């Protein structure tokens, strides 16, 4: 896969996607969003990829926001289409992937950058990371899911405060609020991501995909998460991974999942 704005590294069952626009602090523009969509789609279709790590190039920024120059003069209709297309192509797309995506927040994650990190299945931050949704300081609101995902992750009151003040929080505050799972040094960030990924890789990728669908369903309006769980649980019984996992348990050995 050849891209202009991102890099892909793949080793065994692990893929790493790096947003590579260091001069722009890895800001998201239209081309980068489209490239990320294409990359995630191809990695999702690759049965050999069981976990995806997502990060930004350099040590300053994960993604420092959207590329404002692209939409500063948009009309109402153009603004609405920008948000709708971005959510469809990238943010909702990542959230609903059945391959786990872990965000390695290695610096500034602002605006669209934080929204991208929040669309991942969970987040690890370096101790120099700073996170926020500064859109109201530009006369606009978060448009890539920020007003929806941030309250779900940290609670309505704190989310309201961060959005209204357009303020930033540091990595330790983000951990305290439940926005990130771990905070480590810049040097340890990738190794911790890989360590957690190695634990995920040992398990059934089919079951993990179904677990992601079940968990996500509980946050969707008009969907009964418990009913979704029952369906996904039942569907597991038709998989070869279930047969292998239960057989291995009864035979007191480690499973060798066929991932189907």
Residues with catalytic function: 115, 135
Report how far residue 33's alpha carbon sits from residue 39's, in angstroms, rounded to the nearest whole number: 10
18 phi and psi angles, rounded to 5 deg: -115, 120
Closest-CA residue to 189 (of 121, 130, 129): 129
The HSE-up count of residue 28 (CA atoms within 13 Å, CB side) is: 28
- Could you tell me the sign of the dihedral formed by the alpha carbons of 127, 161, 119, 22, in that order? negative
């Amino acid at each position: 896969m050849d891209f202009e704005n991102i890099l892909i590294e793949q080793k065994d069952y692990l893929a790493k996607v790096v947003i590579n626009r260091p001069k722009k602090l890895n800001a998201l523009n239209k081309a980068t969003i489209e490239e990320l969509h294409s990359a995630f789609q191809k990695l999702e279709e690759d049965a050999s990829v069981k976990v995806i790590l997502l990060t930004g190039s350099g040590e300053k920024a994960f993604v420092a926001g959207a590329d404002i120059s692209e939409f500063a003069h948009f009309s109402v209709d153009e603004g609405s289409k920008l948000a709708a297309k971005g959510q469809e192509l990238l943010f909702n797309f990542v959230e609903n992937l059945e391959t786990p995506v872990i965000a390695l927040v290695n610096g500034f994650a602002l605006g669209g950058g934080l929204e991208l990190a929040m669309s991942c299945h969970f987040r690890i931050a370096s101790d120099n990371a700073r996170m926020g949704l500064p859109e109201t300081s530009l006369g606009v609101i978060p448009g890539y899911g920020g007003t929806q995902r941030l309250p779900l992750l940290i609670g309505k009151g704190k989310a309201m405060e961060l959005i209204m003040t357009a303020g930033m929080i540091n990595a330790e505050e983000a951990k305290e609020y439940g926005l990130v799972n771990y905070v480590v040094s810049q040097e340890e960030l990738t190794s911790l991501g890989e360590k957690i990924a190695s634990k995920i890789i040992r398990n059934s990728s089919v079951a993990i995909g179904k677990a992601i669908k079940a968990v996500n369903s509980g946050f969707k309006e008009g969907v009964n998460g418990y009913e979704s769980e029952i369906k996904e649980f039942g569907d597991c019984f038709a998989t070869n991974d279930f047969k292998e996992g239960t057989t291995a348990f009864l035979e007191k050995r480690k499973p060798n999942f066929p991932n189907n």
